[in-house]
Chains A and B, each alone.
Chain A
Amino acid sequence: MKRREFLLAAATAAVAAPALSFSGKLFATPASNSPRLLLVFLRGGYDSNNLLVPYSSDFYYESRPTLAIAKPDPYNANSAIGLDNSWGLNPVLRDTIYPLWQKRQVAFIPFAGTDDMSRSHFETQDNVESGEPTGQRSNFRSGFMARLSGQMSTVPAIAFTDALPLSFQGSGHDIPNISLRGNPKPVYDERQANILAGMYRDTSLASAAADGLELRQTVSKELQDEMMKANRGAPNAKNFADETTRIATMMRDQYRLGFVDVGGWDTHVNQGSTTGQLANNLSNLGKGLAAYADALGDEWNNTVVVVVSEFGRTFRENGNKGTDHGHGTVYWVLGGKVNGGRIAGQQVAVAPQSLLQNRDYPVLNNYRDVLGGLMGRMWGMSGSQLQSVFPGAHPKDLQLV
């Protein structure tokens, strides 16, 4: 699909089909080929230096005696996969993300992130999810995905999380959330659901109560059956690929804005390189994203997935073969029509003098500018619309779609 078609599809989505029964607020059925955005948040600040390996930098190898990933070498399966003259990919993504790269459906944006300097997970996650300028947050319960949803009132949104993430708070309308683990079957019939929702009619939780009950009723039979089957087989360790397949089912049929988060990236100790904790996480993430692309089928062409994290980590490994909290990180943009197969955004040579505070990557690509530019292209949003999503940002068009 060309950009023009992408935009046309967006316009079609704006006159979406009528709502379903029950409260009838949520489930506008979107046009089938309208653009769809899934935001994947890696919580814990992943070590992007071992995702996107700056293999032409000697400094990288000096800084990481145990963590460095070897330069691309066709005879070594554990070496980085060369992407261009400077950057390589962690080989644990060989069967999942690299094929998408070869199809030019993945772009990486190094030196990305926020100007929040606290290096606190929680502060920086909130900062990113809020989408407001650092230090000038006016509303602590408002996220950029929610404001985007506010601009696109007919683009249905959902979070695939246990709780509603800050990104999706403060939209002015209820944005549903659903955990894709556990039993999704509705336990109440319509009479009971109405009575339960009725108790909350005079409270601030009125729509949350009604929408939650309604969402249960509308989770497709197909998905329910699949989840029940999966749960019986594996009661504990759910893998991300199962979850993304379910996300794809719902995003394909009902939703156009989605959010999911993945934790466990805070690797202070024994982080590993092509094996170990980080490699396992990256491998699961890669499988999940590849499964998502696969499950969407043709709709992958109308889909953009953005992978973000609150920050990167120290460039040098610490004394425990791990890394501590850093600053700039690498964002991923994936999708059937993504202008990929390239390293996008502003860059700087990876050398001691380019580190921020002699510690970590600087942020050259502010996430607000990058995501604003991307959204502008996806939905043809105006400058003033983008300002309401990312106040004070300078949307930068990296031509990602």
Chain B
Amino acid sequence: MLLALGTGAAAARDAHALSQDDIDWLRRDSFELDSTTVSMYRDLGRSRLLDRQLDGRVGDELPAPINALINSYEAGSVSTEQLLTNLRDEQENIKAMPDGDAKTAARKAQQQHANDLLQQAQEIEMLHAIYGPNQLKEQMVWFWLNHFSVYGAKGRVRWVAADYVQNTIRPHALGKFRDLVMATLESPAMMEFLDNAQNAKGHVNENYARELMELHTLGVGSGYTQQDVQQLALILTGAGVAPLRDPKNMRPRVAEMVVRNGMFEFNPRRHDFSDKVLLGHKIKGSGFDEISEAVDLITRQPACAQFVSRKLAEYFVSDTPSPELVARMAHTFQRTDGDIAEVLQTMFDSKELAASYGKKFKDPMQFVVSSVRMAYDGKPIANAKPLLNWLNQLGEPVFGRLTPDGWPLDSTGWSSSGQMAKRFEIAGAIGTGNNRLLTPEGQPKSGGDFPMLTTRLYYDTFDTKLSVPTRDALAKATTQQEWNTFLLSSPDFNYR
């Protein structure tokens, strides 16, 4: 019924161009406009579109050819447990081989396999970002992937990277923040990356404990101490990645305390059962429940609401969001027990968002994704590898942040002279068609197709508001390719 009404309304409104305010809002709600996004907005209107994005009624379905591409990847079609089992088998085979060239070659092949899996995971994330119909959710998946950053090249992370985005981050991207923290805590990727898989009684490793409070929840300087880090590290002992063999015999009382969830395992034999004091609260030594209790405690601190709200506002609204906006978002966070959708609703309703239109510089991920959305407007690409190369060159690869703090959210991180020059070059690679996006991998490049950016979408949404310098530049273009390149390089396109 709603849908039918929407379609009727769309037909009536179709004649009218979107207002500048609509366009500006929608550019912030999405990675960038494409025809599908614009027509959904025309059908539903702003508040219903936002509601449906936030409650997930706008789904994650991708166009069939993009789905087929993803399903052709091992990382997109084989379960995490199977991948890790294969890895173990490969490793055992290699170990059993006599030293020599064959063994060296097998090692090399295994490394290549791991690199391929990571690359597939990166491509899958890029394809979702470009083609996902729920663009707000896609932005949130990227945001959390960055907030709970893991470095792909470390250890087994390459084997579980795709799982991390699709099964850890994506299902909780618009849910409760606490659940998201628990999901990352129970992900093999995070356990591996921040060494908690190694954290055991008598062999305490405080890496994850520190970053969990500093980077994921409370923020540095929010009041926790070195002592709190050490206590949380003890609480987290025993949390790690499930072994792929049946566990050795455990006494029934110990076995009862094992917690398994996918490839996560809490092993009571590795846990320190002493009582702890975290952030002034006593936590009774009890096993896995300590972890739940600690995460509850941490995520309900006012500092957590403040820290997460501020980062969201930095990503979506401004490099320096107003304290009032952050306070309102943090208030919503606390009132709703960390409901991410509600916090976003507060932010998207704010006057601060409207005041920031045209002032937020796109980071490289936003630039690459938005360029391809604008240039190809829903047309399926056949090869996602160039996307990764561009993101690498711009210095923001998916799973490429070596340190767990994630990529910067402000323009200073991305607008240095070296990066501007690179950005212009990549605008050129897209605008001139001098790339292999339309050529399936491994095939000779077919044709020199370049996209046509002078489309209905462009005239409806960009043309009327271009700045004078950009208009001048476009007028000086001598070919369509150059025109495309200038548009994708322009401040009008690179700020949103």
Bound pair (A, B): yes
Interface residues of A (CB under 8 A from B): 43-44, 118-123, 141, 159, 161-164, 169, 174-179, 182, 187-188, 192, 195-196, 198-203, 205, 207-209, 211-213, 215-216, 263-264, 266, 268-269, 318-320, 322, 324-325, 357
Instruction: State in angstroms the CA–CA spacing of A188 and B482 once bound together.
Output: 11
Listed in ascending order, the chain B residues whose CB lies under 8 Å from chain A are 195, 198-200, 202-207, 210, 214-215, 220-221, 226, 361, 393-395, 402-403, 405, 408, 412-422, 424-425, 428, 467, 469-470, 472-473, 476-477, 482, 486, 489-491
Tell me the complex Cα distance, A215–B418, Å: 8
The 6 closest A-B pairs by CB, nearest first: A319-B203, A212-B421, A162-B395, A212-B417, A164-B416, A177-B418
Question: In whole angstroms, what is the CA distance A107 to B482 when docked?
Answer: 54
Instruction: Among A122, A123, A188, A207, point to the contact of B403 (Cβ < 8 A).
Output: A122
Report the minimum CB–CB distance from A145 to chain B (whole Å): 14
Is A320 in contact with B473, judged by CB distance below 8 angstroms? no
Most buried by B among A118, A163, A178, A209: A163
Q: Are B226 and A357 in contact (CB under 8 A)?
A: yes
Contact partners of B476 in chain A: CB under 8 A: 195
A199 touches B473 (CB 8 A): yes
Which chain A positions have C-beta within 8 A of B205? 268-269, 318-320, 322, 324
Which chain B residues lie closer than 8 Å to A121 at the CB level? 403, 405
Q: A212 and B405: CB pair below 8 A?
A: no
For the complex, give the distance between the alpha carbons of A196 and B415 in Å: 15
**When chains A and B are docked, how far (Å) is the Cα of A119 from the Cα of B214?**
11
Report A-chain residues with C-beta under 8 Å of the C-beta of B424: 188, 196, 209, 212-213
Cβ-neighbour of A177 out of B198, B202, B206, B417 (below 8 A)? B417
Q: Which of B200, B419, B489 lies in contact with A163, CB distance below 8 A? A: B419
Report if A169-B491 is in contact (Cβ < 8 Å); known contacts: A213-B421, A213-B424: no
Partner pick for A162 among B207, B405, B412, B419, CB 8 A cutoff: B419
- Other contacts beyond A121-B403, A325-B210: 14, CB < 8 A: A120-B220, A162-B394, A162-B419, A176-B416, A179-B418, A195-B486, A202-B469, A205-B420, A208-B416, A208-B420, A269-B205, A318-B205, A319-B204, A324-B207
Please, how many angstroms separate the alpha-carbon atoms of A162 and B397 in the complex? 12
Closest Cβ–Cβ distance, residue A363 to chain B (whole Å) = 16
How far is it, in angstroms, between the C-alpha of A118 and the C-alpha of B225 when the chains are bound? 8
* Residues on the A chain within 8 Å of B419, using CB: 162-163, 177, 208, 212
- Given known A163-B416, A195-B473, A318-B205, contact A122–B491 (CB-CB < 8 A): no
- Nearest chain-B residue to A325 (Cβ)? B210
A192 with B226: in contact, given A121-B405, A269-B195, A319-B200 (CB under 8 Å)?
no
Do A211 and B469 form a contact, CB below 8 Å, given A188-B424, A188-B428, A199-B486?
no
Task: Kindly identify which residue among A201, A207, A264 contacts B417, using a CB–CB cutoff of 8 Å.
Answer: A207
Q: How far is the CA of A268 from the CA of B206 in the complex (A)?
A: 8
Q: Do residues B473 and A196 form an inter-chain contact, with CB atoms below 8 A?
A: yes
Cβ of A200 to closest chain B Cβ, rounded Å: 6
Taking a contact as CB atoms closer than 8 A, the residue among B202, B394, B425 that contacts A187 in the complex is B425
CA distance A91 to B31 in the complex (A): 51
Considering the chains assembled together, what is the distance between the CA atoms of A202 and B419 in angstroms?
Answer: 19
> Nearest chain A CB to B200's CB is how many angstroms away?
7
Is the Cβ of A318 less than 8 Å from the Cβ of B421?
A: no
Q: With both chains docked as a complex, state the minimum distance between the C-beta of A43 and any C-beta of chain B, in angstroms.
A: 7
Q: Is the CB of A263 within 8 A of B402?
A: yes
CB < 8 Å neighbour of B207 from A176, A264, A268: A268
Q: How far apart are the CA atoms of A334 and B127 in the complex, in Å? A: 47
Alpha-carbon distance A358/B414, docked complex (angstroms): 41
Cα separation A207 to B473 with both chains bound (whole Å) = 17
Which A residue's beta carbon lies closest to that of B421?
Answer: A212
Q: Return the contact of B418 from the options A118, A162, A207 (Cβ within 8 A).
A: A162
How far is it, in angstroms, between the C-alpha of A192 and the C-alpha of B469 when the chains are bound? Answer: 14
CB neighbours of A161 from chain B (8 A)? 418
How distant is B338 from chain A, measured CB to nearest CB, in Å?
A: 23
**Residue of A141, A195, A198, A266 most packed against chain B (CB within 10 A):** A195
When the two chains form the complex, which single residue of A43, A163, A212, A324 contacts B414, counting CB atoms closer than 8 Å?
A163
Q: Which residue of chain A has its CB nearest to the CB of B393? A: A182
B417 and A118 contact, CB distance less than 8 A: no
> Which residue of chain B has the shortest Cβ distance to A170 in the bound complex?
B412
A357 CB contacts on chain B under 8 angstroms: 226
CA distance A44 to B154 in the complex (A): 15
Q: How many whole Å from B434's CB to the nearest CB in chain A?
A: 9
Q: How far is the CB of A196 from chain B (nearest CB, A)?
A: 5
Q: Give the shortest distance, in Å, between B175 (CB) and chain A (any CB).
A: 27
Residues of chain B within 8 A (CB-CB) of A325 are 210
Question: In the complex, which of the residues B226, B422, B489 contacts A199, with contact meaning CB atoms closer than 8 Å?
Answer: B489
Known interface pairs A182-B393, A318-B205; A122-B402 also in contact (CB < 8 Å): no
What separation, in Å, do the CA atoms of A237 and B221 have in the docked complex?
Answer: 37
The residue that B486 contacts in the complex, of A196, A216, A324, with Cβ under 8 A, is A196
Q: Once bound together, how far apart are the Cα atoms of A173 and B420, in whole Å?
A: 16
CB pair B214–A120 under 8 Å, yes or no, is yes
A212 proximity list for chain B (CB < 8 A): 416-422, 424
Given contacts A203-B491, A269-B198, A319-B202, contact A120 B469 (CB under 8 A): no
> B226: which A residues are within 8 A, CB to CB?
119, 357
Q: B215, B220, B361: which has the most chain A beta carbons within 10 Å?
A: B220
Residues of chain B within 8 A of A213, CB atoms compared: 420-421, 424
Q: Looking at the assembled complex, report how far the CB atom of B394 sits from the nearest CB atom of chain A, in whole angstroms.
A: 8
* Most A CB within 10 A of own CB, among B394, B414, B419: B419
CA distance A318 to B416 in the complex (A): 40
Task: Name the one of A120, A188, A263 contacting B210, with C-beta atoms under 8 angstroms.
Answer: A120
What is the bound-complex CA distance between A325 and B467, given in angstroms? 50
16 inter-chain pairs at a CB distance below 8 angstroms, sorted by A residue, are A43-B403, A123-B221, A162-B418, A164-B417, A175-B417, A176-B416, A196-B486, A200-B420, A201-B469, A208-B419, A209-B424, A212-B416, A212-B417, A212-B424, A213-B424, A215-B418
Q: With A120-B214, A269-B205 given, is the CB distance from A216 to B395 under 8 Å?
A: no
C-alpha spacing A122/B403, complex, angstroms:
9
A319 and chain B: residue at smallest CB distance: B203
Tell me which residues across on chain A come within 8 A of B408, comparing CB atoms.
163
Write out the residue numbers on chain B whose beta carbons fall within 8 Å of the beta carbon of A175: 417
- Residues from chain B with Cβ under 8 Å of A177 in the complex: 416-419
CA distance A278 to B340 in the complex (A): 40
With both beta carbons as reference points, the residue of chain B lying nearest to A121 in the complex is identified as B403
